[in-house]
């Protein structure tokens, strides 16, 4: 599997051939999990699924550009690949899909992909669009006050950048030059609403100028370009240079969620065209061309991912559901109060 | 014990919390060099620095949202909303986020946050500097709501709020800031939340109230006592959790209940108090439960005439007491 590279080129700082293969594996694992989620939904086993197909490259890059155990993620609901790349396991992922009692994110309370993993530095979000962006800023403020060098990376779609709270968060972070990276995963749609109905500017990154920090754009379907861009933003944050707004141009291969049908507002040709940008086969080809991986290695990884996800599915499906009593836990530290 | 007004008690408590605990910091509009619009944080910047007495941009959602993030990251922020009337932009953060943080993460993330805000009328505050907001929040599980009415209670409850591991909305009645004085215990004095105070024991009827109205009700009760009517005044102090036990005990003892609050009547805190009594002590009563509350109009107008017509006064409370006593 570890074939020697045939093309000698300098990898971006922080990346090694091993890390590249790890990134690829995270993408394959995510795709396998995502497909499983939709399949379980279609089988009527889970009520709801959302996928990140088309976003894998920027997400794995963002997770790899941070230091695990030091930096913090405040991701949004589409960040399956980011979470799996930052330490969430397939079992944990399947537990949230099945909404089981021992789902560590929320004990089956929240929609899938609403991560909360304090021990791996992933903070909680609700489903309220953009409400978590000020939280990321507050976390960065706390780190700065305590003179810790942790960086916070928070993500959202382009539609989220219309919310007032998003702008308040950006403004606050700009004033205090906080160690935070704002990552917009621009897939051109907010459910059905296209970007041009969301903002008059061409790029989300253009908004950054109003807050006094850089806005940069990268190809969010290219892991290396994404990695280089996010890493630079992380380094700026860590060295006291303040926030960056990174806009990763990607696309949404599937409908918004399992409850949506994008053929109601997009043409089949448009969907097919965007699927040509699928980051997984593209990265696979890139790695193969350069000899970082060979056909056998790819098959091995795909088989391993399949096995991990199968095992996690069987296991999670048989875990206990929450009980009616569990409704009453964790209302207040003391329990429920009236 | 030192005698202080309510504003001084809040100021002293905030000061001592900043001095005692490095995790505590204050954030809000004009809390820095100006020292808050009522001068509650006056001179704090000089002592604790701009970071810990942080002037925020004029944007309430982010005042609370950023405070939530800091709380999640281990700090003990005290966020200030300059006037309760301006809390609406932060409603999403308070109700949708802070109140549900513990629940939605099954205890994984918590939100130890205090949101202080001055509320209430009687100060010429017009439509947008005089509202009561408690009813808009007390419906929400996960939030605690405190409304002290004496300097000692303000200190005791604010200390408990700062030490609490959940979000607390701390309501300070503007009119009590300088009007109400009293002895304030020294040190990190704490009062448990969810315990009402019997402001005045009595046997003939119970007034259940909180905030400025505690003082108006005690004044009215003193009047009635001259005529041989002995009124018990129960000051809730804590709206959520609510002291059901004391409410029911007092209702059972006096058998007549008048609920008084300044907030609008419909769906107000009084509705819940009445429901608790109806559920738990209906057949102990000798008279129907009565409510004397702010009328169901959007707010009190600027003109003094509007304000007087809106706010329950000691005289109107006394009249309502007499009426109920005679039932
Ligand atoms: C405050 C709020 N309004 C509306 C919704 C419903 N909603 C959920 S996702 C979504 C679209 C979000 O689009 P975008 O931010 O571009 O992210 P994407 O889903 O495309 O990744 C909407 C409208 C919501 N969850 N929260």
- pLDDT value at position A336? 86
Which regions in chain B score pLDDT beneath 70? none
The answer to whether A116 contacts B104, with C-beta atoms less than 8 Å apart, is: yes
* B189 within some domain: no
Ligand 1 atom, smallest distance to A156 CA: 15
A205-229 pLDDT, tens per residue? 999 999 999 999 999 999 999 999 9
Buried/exposed code over B154-177 (b: 16+ C-beta within 10 A; e: otherwise) = bbbbbbbbbebebbbbbbbbbbbb
Mean pLDDT value across chain A: 95
Determine contact: A168 vs chain B, CB below 8 A. Answer: yes
Q: Both B65 and B139 in a single domain?
A: yes
Q: At what angle do helices A279-289 and A17-42 cross, to 10 degrees?
A: 150
- Where a domain ends, among B163, B184, B205? B184
Q: Both B42 and B173 in a single domain?
A: yes
For range A306-321, the mean pLDDT: 98
B173 is known as an active-site residue: no
- pLDDT value at position B287? 98
What residue ranges line ligand 1, CB within 6 angstroms?
A: A 78, 127-129, 156-160, 187, 189-191, 256
> Which ipTM did the prediction report?
0.96
- A17-318 folds as Rossmann fold (3.40.50)
Of B69, B103, B104, the CB nearest to A136: B69
A56-85 pLDDT, tens per residue? 999 999 999 999 999 999 999 999 999 999
pLDDT > 90? residue A282: yes
* B158 within some domain: yes
The answer to whether A172 contacts B66, with C-beta atoms less than 8 Å apart, is: yes
Query: Which two structure tokens, joined as six digits, stand for B65?
Result: 């949202």
CATH assignment at residue B246: 3.40.50.920
Look up the pTM and report it: 0.96
If you measure from the C-alpha of residue B180 to the centroid of ligand 1, how many angstroms do you get, rounded to a whole number?
A: 48
Q: Both B169 and B282 in a single domain?
A: no
The answer to whether A141 contacts B66, with C-beta atoms less than 8 Å apart, is: yes
- What count of Cα atoms within 13 Å lies in the side-chain half-sphere of residue A142? 25
* B190 within some domain: no
* B192 within some domain: no
B-chain residues near A211 (CB < 8 A): none
Q: Both B138 and B284 in a single domain?
A: no
Higher pLDDT, A7 or A10: A10
- pLDDT value at position A2? 47
Of A118, A138, A338, the CB nearest to B68: A138
Mean pLDDT value across chain B: 98
CATH assignment at residue B107: 3.40.50.970
- Contact criterion met (CB below 8 Å) for B317 and B292: yes
- For residue A115, count CB atoms less than 10 angstroms from its CB and return exposed for 0-12, middle for 13-18, buried for 19 or more: buried
To probe the interface with A, which of B102, B103, B138 has the most A CB atoms within 10 Å?
B103
Residue B280, domain extent: 197-325
- pLDDT value at position A1? 42
Query: Which two structure tokens, joined as six digits, stand for A227?
Result: 């990695």
- Where a domain ends, among B149, B184, B219? B184
* B7 within some domain: yes
Q: How far is A3 from chain B (nearest CA, A)?
A: 42
Q: What total of structural domains would you count in chain B?
A: 2
- pLDDT value at position A6? 54
- pLDDT value at position A274? 87
- pLDDT value at position A275? 86
Q: Both B11 and B94 in a single domain?
A: yes
Of A124, A270, A176, A261, nearest to B56 (Cα)?
A176
Ligand 1 atom, smallest distance to A131 CA: 1
Q: Both B109 and B225 in a single domain?
A: no
């Amino acid at each position: 599997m570890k074939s020697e590279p045939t093309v000698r080129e300098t990898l971006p700082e922080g990346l090694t051939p091993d890390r590249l293969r790890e990134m690829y594996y995270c993408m394959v694992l995510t795709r396998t999990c995502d497909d499983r989620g939709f399949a379980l939904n279609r089988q009527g086993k889970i009520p709801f699924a959302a996928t990140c197909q088309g976003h894998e490259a920027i997400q794995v890059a963002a997770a790899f550009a941070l230091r695990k155990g030091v930096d913090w993620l405040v991701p949004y609901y589409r960040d399956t690949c980011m979470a799996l790349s930052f330490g969430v396991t397939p079992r944990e992922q399947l537990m949230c899909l099945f909404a089981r009692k021992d789902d560590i994110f929320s004990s089956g309370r929240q929609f899938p992909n609403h991560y909360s993993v304090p021990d791996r530095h992933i903070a909680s979000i609700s489903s309220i669009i953009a409400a978590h962006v000020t939280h990321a800023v507050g976390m960065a403020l706390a780190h700065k006050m305590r003179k810790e060098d942790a960086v916070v990376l928070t993500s959202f779609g382009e539609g989220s950048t219309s919310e007032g709270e998003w702008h308040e968060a950006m403004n606050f972070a700009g004033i205090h030059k906080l160690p935070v990276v704002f990552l917009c995963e621009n897939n051109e749609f907010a459910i059905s609403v296209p970007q041009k109905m969301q903002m008059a500017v061409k790029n989300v990154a253009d908004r950054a100028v109003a807050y006094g920090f850089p806005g940069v754009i990268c190809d969010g379907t290219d892991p290396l370009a994404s990695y280089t861009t996010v890493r630079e933003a992380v380094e700026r944050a860590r060295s006291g240079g303040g926030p960056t707004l990174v806009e990763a141009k990607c696309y949404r291969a599937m409908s918004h969620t399992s409850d949506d049908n994008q053929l109601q507002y997009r043409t089949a040709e448009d969907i097919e065209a965007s699927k040509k940008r699928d980051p997984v086969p593209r990265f696979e080809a890139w790695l193969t061309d350069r000899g970082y991986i060979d056909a056998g290695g790819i098959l091995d990884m795909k088989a391993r991912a399949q096995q991990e996800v199968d095992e996690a599915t069987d296991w999670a499906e048989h875990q206990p559901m929450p009980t009616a009593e569990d409704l009453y836990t964790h209302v207040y530290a003391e329990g429920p109060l009236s | 014990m030192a005698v202080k007004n309510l504003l001084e008690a809040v100021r002293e408590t905030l000061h001592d919390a900043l001095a005692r605990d490095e995790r505590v910091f204050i954030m809000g509009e004009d809390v820095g060099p100006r020292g808050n619009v009522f001068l509650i944080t006056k001179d704090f910047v000089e002592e604790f620095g701009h970071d810990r007495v942080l002037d925020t941009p004029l944007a309430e959602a982010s005042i609370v949202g950023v405070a939530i993030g800091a709380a999640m990251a281990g700090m003990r922020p005290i966020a200030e909303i300059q006037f309760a009337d301006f809390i609406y932009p932060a409603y999403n953060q308070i109700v949708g986020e802070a109140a549900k943080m513990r629940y939605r993460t099954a205890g994984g993330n918590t939100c130890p946050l205090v949101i202080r805000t001055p509320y209430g009328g009687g100060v010429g505050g017009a439509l947008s500097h005089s509202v009561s907001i408690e009813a808009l929040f007390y419906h929400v599980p996960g939030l605690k709501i405190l409304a002290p009415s004496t300097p000692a209670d303000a200190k005791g409850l604010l200390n408990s709020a700062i030490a609490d591991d959940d979000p607390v909305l701390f309501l300070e009645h503007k009119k009590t800031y300088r009007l109400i004085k009293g002895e304030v215990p020294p040190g990190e004095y704490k009062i448990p939340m969810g315990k009402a105070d019997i402001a005045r024991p009595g046997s003939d009827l119970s007034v259940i109230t909180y905030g400025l109205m505690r003082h108006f009700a005690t004044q009215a009760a003193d009047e009635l006592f001259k005529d041989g009517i002995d009124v018990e005044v129960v000051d809730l102090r804590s709206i959520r959790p609510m002291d059901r036990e004391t409410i029911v005990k007092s209702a059972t003892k006096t058998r007549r209940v008048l609920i008084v609050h300044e907030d609008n009547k419909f769906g107000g805190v009084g509705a819940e108090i009445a429901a608790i009594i109806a559920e738990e002590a209906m057949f102990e009563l000798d008279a129907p439960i009565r409510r004397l509350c702010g009328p169901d109009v959007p707010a009190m107008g600027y003109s003094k005439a509007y304000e007087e017509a809106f706010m329950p006064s000691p005289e109107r409370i006394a009249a309502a007491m007499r009426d109920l006593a005679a039932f």
